[in-house]
Amino acid sequence: MKKFFLSFSVCLLVVGFLADCKDPYQDFSPGAGDPRITGTWQLYERQFPKDSLLYTRNYTYGVIIVDKREVKVVRDSTLTSRDTLFFARRRYGAVPAQTLTFAPDGKLTASGDEMSYYNPIKLYDVDSTEQDGLGVKLYVNTNRANQYFRQGVLFKQDTLLLRPKCDGDCYLKFFRVR
Q: Model's pTM, two decimal places?
A: 0.63
The model's pLDDT over 70-102, given as tens digits with 9 standing for 90+, comes to 888 888 888 777 666 678 888 998 888 899 999
Read off the DSSP letter of residue 96.
Answer: S
Contact present, 87 and 51 (Cβ < 8 Å): no
- Other CB atoms closer than 10 Å to residue 94's CB: what's the count? 9
pLDDT of the residue at 24: 45
Beta-strand runs (E) in the chain: 39-66, 69-91, 99-102, 108-111, 121-127, 135-142, 145-156, 159-163, 171-176
The model's pLDDT over 122-169, given as tens digits with 9 standing for 90+, comes to 899 888 766 667 888 899 877 777 788 889 898 888 899 999 888 778
- Other CB atoms closer than 10 Å to residue 11's CB: what's the count? 10
Query: Sign of the CA dihedral 149, 155, 160, 162?
Result: negative
Domains and CATH numbers, the chain: 22-51+87-176 (2.40.128), 53-85 (no CATH)
Torsion of CA 40, 110, 118, 124, to 10 degrees: 50
